[in-house]
Structure formats: structure tokens, C-alpha cells
């Protein structure tokens, strides 16, 4: 594995510690405009969830106000890998849910992707969407052996959309000897996450919803129909409140904070390597991920001249971004030794909102609506759940969402001793890293 050509201490001097995506679509600076005194629906959080909800509400003539503690779009929505799909990982929930409920979730996830494609088209959001498909590499032979079940599920939903790629044919998908084969799915693609967010924010405002940045919500009191949203800049009266705070959920909604686990994910962007080098690494230009417990996700940039490489670089509290960038660089060059020596231009981090059952949830707690817990895949899913909550508020949903916590067996639970600080993550991270390493060692890698 190669070390970054510069020591971590030097990275700060040459690498911008901000999302690469912000070069094309940086969130607007904080305007400090005062909030109104009241709104029908106050939405806490200006990412995909909040904006999709606001757009849907505004289109139905409901007075919606989106508040963000920072810039609108400062959270995960402008920091992601931009990989989109119609899948949902049901995690451990897949085993405990009634089969019909699990099937309903998968159907809804598939539908949400179609709707997401329709919405970027309808709203004319120019966000470099490319339906490239996705390749997932098996980090060991055992993992490869388990892929057929995933393929069967995908093909049951969209016949012929997924297939196994044996190790001997892997070079057709990825120019690397790192994996033991993998699988490809065509129901997936890539988007420029910050341009999607920017276009969505524009459409939301044009539809009549208000957005206010730099306004942190500190608490919510009252009850449905008569809420008071307390902010650092005064109180706002609201009929309904939606928490759309995902991996940034905090003390303003303490019951929800206990149910969402913020996990930092990190990404690096290489300098321009040229289209030939990128095409050599990714012959099909697909989005790519792997089966590691601490998964890597990576892709060509929309211009196809750079590699965008992400993963959970470390769970260590207080680790500096420079060190995370160096860790990801080592991982990237262990997969693509051919780009060893290249420079990085950007490195950044963002919070993913996990839940204890690894599935997304929408619902209502203490009268406050929520759509939370993207579990790493939220570009499509959180957009969808934002719209679903809005429809619930408007009263226009004939069938409730399968992700509604009111559904059978889908309670939004917490764990004893968890109050929003994930003290257990460093131990889990070390355990996962050890198991990933062992899997490969036992394989002779
Ligand atoms: C590094 C990274 C890579 C990812 N890669 C992918 C990917 O490739 N594909 C994919 O599908 N998903 C990916 N995701 C997940 C995806 O980005 C998220 O699921 C999605 O953006 C969540 O949107 P959201 O609107 O729910 O939350 P966010 O975009 O995080 O917005 C929440 C907002 O709430 C605001 N907020 C919090 N508390 C308060 C308060 N008290 N008052 C006011 N505002 C508040 C925050 O400032 C924040 O802006 C990734 C996430 C990260 C971090």
C-alpha cells in the first residue's frame, strides 16, 4: 500500500478540506434573514429530506418553512458520494420483519428511485445524473459466495438487472486485482450531490416554501396543532413540525437524538488524472462499492477525470481529516496501484445517520414528524421519505409508507445508555476492521 506523497501534516497545505462538490455548487453563505413568526409546517434541516418535504408541501399550498442551523445544504446532502439506486439494505431487520413487510419496503425503495428520476426531470434539476449501474466487489471468497442471494433479490424486483462477475472476468468491470469477483446491478447510477441539492433548493423556493439559514432550533414545545419552535433567533409558532436532521440530530429533539447514531464518513478527490486513466480504472465507469464491513465506495467524478473515493476512514474520536485522507489514499492505491503517486485536491467528512436496526424510519414522536436514518444510502431514500412525510401531513397518502415506524415490527427503538454520543463506535470499528482483515488473510490475500 502506498503512502500519500505528502505526510499528513503537509496535506492541509495542499489539499482543500472541503467537499470537491462545492467547487460547482457550494451552499450559499448564511444570509441571517429573520425567521417569520409562524408557519404551517416548520422543517428542521435543509438537506434532501427537508427540501423534498417542503417542495411537496408548497406544491399543495401549505406554508412550509425550512430552518437550518448552518448553511442550507451544509449537512450530508452536499457531501455524499452521489451514488443512487433503488435498493434498500434491510440489515438485521430483514430477518425479524414479516416477509410481506420486508417485500413492501423493497418495492417502495424501487419505486422511490423511479420517482426520484421523474422529479429531477420534472423540476429540470441539472445534476450530472448518469445511470451507469454499480459494481460491488467481494472482499473475500466467502463474501463472493453470499452474493447470489443479493442478486436473486435484485432480479426478483427488476428481472435481468443484476449478475455475478467471477474473479476471472472482473477486469471488465474494474482494473484491479483486489477483489474475489463481485456483482453488477444496472438499477443504479451517479449524481453530483451538491448540484442536486442546489437545484432542489431552487425548485423548493420557487414553489413558495421559505428557507432560513443560520437558525439553530434549540427545542420544540407544545403539541400538534399548537407547537412553539424555539430557535436561537426567537420562537416560531407552527401547526406541524418535521425533524429532518438525520446524522446531525441533536438535543432539540432529544427522543430522536437517542434513536439516531451519527457516524462520520470520509471522502477524498484526486487531482485530474485524465479520462484515459479513469476509464482504465473503471472500464464501465460504474459506481463502485465493496462487501467489507467497513465498506469503501468510489466512483469516477461526473467529468470522468478524477476518482472520488470514500469510506469510514476511522472511528477514532478526534482524528484529524488529514489523517483520514492519508488512510483513504492508502486504501485507494491498494485497489488501484496504477494511480499511486497522484495528488489529492479535496478531502472532507460528513455525518451519516444510522439507526439501531439499520433501516430508515419515518413517523411521529411526541407529535413531531420525523424522517431519519439513511444508514449510508440517502440521496434517493431520504428524498423519498421527505415527500412521504409531507403527504402524510397533507393527508394525501392512500397507503402508509412501509418505512413508517407505525408499521408492524418496525418500531424506532433506542438502546439503554445511548443518549446521542456513540461511545461504542471505536470498539465496533476496530472489531469490523479486524474481521475484514481476517477474511482476506484467511483467503490468502
Ligand atoms: C460522506 C458521505 C457519503 C455519502 N454517500 C452517499 C452515497 O453515495 N449515496 C447515498 O445515497 N447516500 C450517501 N450518503 C448519505 C446521504 O448523503 C444522506 O442520507 C442524505 O444527504 C441525508 O439528507 P438529510 O436531508 O436527511 O440530512 P442532511 O443533509 O444531513 O441535513 C440535515 C441538516 O439538519 C441541520 N440541523 C441539525 N440540527 C439542527 C437544528 N437543531 N436546527 C436547525 N438545523 C439543524 C444540519 O445543519 C443539516 O444541514 C452519504 C453521506 C455522507 C456523509
Q: How many domains does the chain have?
A: 1
> Which residue, chain included where needed, has cell 481529516?
321
pTM above 0.85, yes or no: yes
H/E stretch holding 234 reads strand 234-243
Q: Helix, strand or coil for residue 82?
A: coil
For 287-312, the pLDDT digits (tens) are 999 999 999 999 999 999 999 999 99
How many Cβ atoms are within 10 Å of 254's Cβ, its own excluded?
A: 13
Q: What is the CATH number of the domain that holds 211?
A: 3.50.50.60
Pocket (CB within 6 angstroms of ligand 1): 44-50, 67-70, 74-77, 79-84, 216-217, 244-248, 250, 252, 265, 267, 297, 310, 350-352, 374, 376-379, 382
d(C-alpha 245, C-alpha 351), whole Å: 10
Residue 92 has pLDDT above 70, yes or no: no
Q: Which residues span the domain enclosing 152?
A: 8-442
Instruction: Identify which of 378, 387, 388 to mutate to test ligand 1's pocket (most ligand atoms within 8 A of the CB).
Output: 378
Residues 6+ apart with CB under 8 A from 162: 150, 151, 154, 155, 183, 184, 185, 186, 187
Q: How far is the CA of 151 from the centre of ligand 1 (A)?
A: 28
| Closest alpha carbon to 35 in 224, 178, 233 | 233
Please indicate, yes or no, if residue 338 is contained in any of the structural domains.
Answer: yes
Please indicate, yes or no, if residue 120 is contained in any of the structural domains.
Answer: yes
Please indicate, yes or no, if residue 310 is contained in any of the structural domains.
Answer: yes
Please indicate, yes or no, if residue 2 is contained in any of the structural domains.
Answer: no
Q: How far is the CA of 76 from the centre of ligand 1 (A)?
A: 3
| Closest alpha carbon to 355 in 429, 432, 259, 428 | 259
Q: How far is the CA of 351 from the centre of ligand 1 (A)?
A: 7
12 band by pLDDT with thresholds 50, 70 and 90? confident
Specify the pLDDT at position 144: 96
In the sheet that 261-270 helps form, which strands lie side by side, from edge to edge? Answer: 162-165, 182-185, 134-137, 287-290, 296-300, 307-311, 261-270, 344-354
d(C-alpha 389, C-alpha 411), whole Å: 17
d(C-alpha 175, C-alpha 171), whole Å: 5
Please indicate, yes or no, if residue 283 is contained in any of the structural domains.
Answer: yes
444 band by pLDDT with thresholds 50, 70 and 90? confident
Instruction: Identify which of 120, 234, 248, 362 to mutate to test ligand 1's pocket (most ligand atoms within 8 A of the CB).
Output: 248
| Percent above pLDDT 90 for the chain | 84
Specify the pLDDT at position 157: 84
Please indicate, yes or no, if residue 1 is contained in any of the structural domains.
Answer: no
| Closest alpha carbon to 226 in 241, 205, 211, 214 | 241
Ligand 1 closest atom vs CA 85: 11
| Closest alpha carbon to 128 in 165, 84, 161, 164 | 84
Among 53-67, 321-335, 401-415, 426-440, the minimum mean pLDDT is found in 401-415
* Ligand 1, atom 51, residue with closest C-alpha: 80
CB-CB contact of 4 with 11 (8 Å): yes
Please indicate, yes or no, if residue 186 is contained in any of the structural domains.
Answer: yes
* Ligand 1, atom 41, residue with closest C-alpha: 217
Residue 315 has pLDDT above 90, yes or no: no
Please indicate, yes or no, if residue 351 is contained in any of the structural domains.
Answer: yes
Ligand 1 closest atom vs CA 247: 30
Amino acid at each position: 500500500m502506498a503512502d500519500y506523497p505528502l505526510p499528513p501534516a503537509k496535506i492541509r497545505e495542499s489539499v482543500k478540506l472541503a467537499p470537491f462538490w462545492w467547487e460547482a455548487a457550494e451552499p450559499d453563505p448564511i444570509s441571517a434573514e429573520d425567521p417569520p413568526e409562524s408557519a404551517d409546517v416548520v422543517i428542521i434541516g435543509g438537506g434532501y429530506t427537508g427540501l423534498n418535504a417542503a417542495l411537496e408541501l408548497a406544491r399543495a399550498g401549505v406554508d412550509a418553512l425550512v430552518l437550518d442551523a448552518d448553511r442550507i445544504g451544509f449537512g450530508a446532502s452536499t457531501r455524499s458520494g452521489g451514488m443512487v439506486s433503488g435498493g434498500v439494505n434491510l440489515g438485521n431487520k430483514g430477518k425479524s420483519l414479516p416477509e410481506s413487510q420486508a417485500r413492501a419496503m423493497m418495492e417502495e425503495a424501487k419505486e422511490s428511485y423511479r420517482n426520484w428520476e421523474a422529479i429531477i426531470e420534472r423540476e429540470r434539476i441539472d445534476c450530472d445524473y448518469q445511470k451507469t449501474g454499480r459494481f460491488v466487489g467481494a472482499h473475500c471468497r466467502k463474501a463472493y459466495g453470499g452474493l447470489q442471494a443479493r442478486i436473486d433479490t435484485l432480479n426478483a424486483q427488476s428481472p435481468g438487472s443484476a449478475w455475478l462477475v467471477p474473479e476471472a472476468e472482473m477486469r471488465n468491470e474494474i482494473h484491479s486485482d483486489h477483489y474475489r469477483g463481485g456483482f453488477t446491478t444496472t438499477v443504479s447510477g451517479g449524481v453530483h450531490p451538491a448540484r442536486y441539492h442546489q437545484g432542489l433548493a431552487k425548485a423548493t423556493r420557487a414553489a413558495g416554501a421559505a428557507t432560513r439559514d443560520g437558525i439553530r432550533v434549540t427545542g420544540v414545545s407544545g403539541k400538534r396543532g399548537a407547537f412553539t419552535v424555539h430557535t436561537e433567533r426567537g420562537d416560531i409558532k407552527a401547526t406541524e413540525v418535521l425533524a429532518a436532521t438525520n446524522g446531525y440530530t441533536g438535543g432539540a429533539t432529544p427522543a430522536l437524538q437517542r434513536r439516531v447514531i451519527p457516524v462520520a464518513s470520509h471522502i477524498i478527490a484526486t487531482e485530474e488524472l485524465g479520462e484515459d486513466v479513469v476509464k482504465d480504472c473503471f472500464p464501465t465507469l460504474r459506481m463502485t462499492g465493496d462487501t467489507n464491513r467497513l465498506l469503501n465506495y468510489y466512483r469516477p467524478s461526473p467529468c470522468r477525470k478524477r476518482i472520488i473515493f470514500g469510506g469510514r476512514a476511522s472511528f477514532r474520536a478526534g482524528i484529524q481529516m488529514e489523517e483520514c485522507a492519508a488512510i483513504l489514499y492508502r486504501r485507494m492505491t491498494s485497489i488501484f496501484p496504477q494511480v499511486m503517486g497522484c495528488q489529492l485536491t479535496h478531502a472532507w467528512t460528513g455525518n451519516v445517520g444510522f439507526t439501531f436496526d439499520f433501516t430508515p424510519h419515518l413517523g411521529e414522536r411526541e407529535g413531531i414528524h420525523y424522517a431519519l436514518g439513511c444508514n449510508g444510502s440517502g440521496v434517493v431514500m431520504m428524498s423519498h421519505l421527505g415527500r412521504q412525510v409531507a403527504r402524510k401531513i397533507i393527508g394525501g397518502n392512500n397507503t402508509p409508507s412501509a418505512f413508517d415506524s407505525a408499521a408492524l415490527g418496525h418500531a424506532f427503538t433506542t438502546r439503554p445508555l445511548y443518549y446521542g454520543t456513540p461511545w461504542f463506535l471505536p470498539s465496533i470499528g476496530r472489531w469490523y476492521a479486524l474481521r475484514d482483515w481476517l477474511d482476506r488473510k484467511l483467503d490468502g490475500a
